[in-house]
Amino acid sequence: MILADAAWLWRVMATYLPSDPTVWDPSGVEAAVARHASTVRMVADQPERDHVWRAAALLHTLTVCPPLDSPMNEFYAMATAHAYLALEDVKVSRELLADLVEAAQRGAGVHEVGDRLRAALT
């Protein structure tokens, strides 16, 4: 399983965002890296931390802890999840990722986002 680091998330930003956005809160990127790499499960019936959960954690964290002083935060969250899943040879539609960003903005938790992503991929 591939784990992303902060340098990789910064490269995703440089590659996929059409301009050079102002980074308002770089701790959002650090939080996304740490959260997606976590292996701790506090509830026995939570799913394993597989690549789908990790992509959901990246998307969710970048959505709820936006690092940019820009309206591009949602696009960055989508691009990061898309690029991460591509590392695992998983194709996912941008429409689904946009729906998941909206769900996170409305209060869906990372497990719900991961469950919806997993269901769409099966």
Contacts of 19 (CB under 8 A, 6+ apart): 72
- What was the pLDDT predicted at 71? 80
pLDDT of residue 41: 79
**Residue carrying the six token digits 């986002």:** 113
* Residue-level pLDDT at 103: 98
The pLDDT of residue 8 is: 95
- What is the pLDDT, as a whole number, of residue 34? 95
Distance CA 62, CA 18 (A): 18
What pairs with residue 68 in β-bridges? 23
Q: Which residues of the chain have pLDDT under 70?
A: none
